[in-house]
Amino acid sequence: MAKYDLSKPMRRSQFERRVQSLKEKGRFVELKELTARSLKQNNYLHLILSYYGLEFGYNLSYVKRNIFKMIVNPQLFVIDRVNEKSGEVYRDIRSSSDLSKEEMIIAIDRFKDHSAQGGLVLPDPDNLIYLKEITEEIERAKRYL
């Protein structure tokens, strides 16, 4: 899926051409605004979740859903919903994209604390050397997963 920075004239022009092409084809599309949180924080989050999974033997989806959301941050992610047809109340898991920047900071800090309690110290987002090292380690491990 292509992403367009509409503050840049060239990318805005590319976006408009792509939209026109999709309109002409009568395609079904989804338009979603990306915030700075969704780009920077999500990249960092997925990196530390992947590294945690690599170190403890879990895949990314398991770490994200079960450990990050259900064990470490249930207050932020586990919610009650109401079935509109039956009125039944059921438990559900929020998407991380629904969190504000501040909520995501809290969730990540809790996860880093949880990880440290298990013996794995995760890097801060500004520790570029450590982030580069774990990125390379994750890339090397992909060959074997």
Q: What is the pLDDT of residue 101?
A: 87
Mean pLDDT of 12-22: 91
Domain ranges in the chain are: 1-31, 35-142
Q: How far apart are CA 84 and CA 89, in angstroms?
A: 9
Q: What is the pLDDT of residue 53?
A: 96
57 backbone φψ class: left, alpha, beta (φ>0; ψ -120 to 50): left
Give the ranges where the chain is alpha helix by DSSP (H).
9-25, 36, 42-56, 60-62, 74-77, 101-117, 128-142
Q: Is the overall model pTM greater than 0.95, yes or no?
A: no
Q: Among 33, 25, 65, 73, which residue's Cα sits nearest to residue 49? A: 65
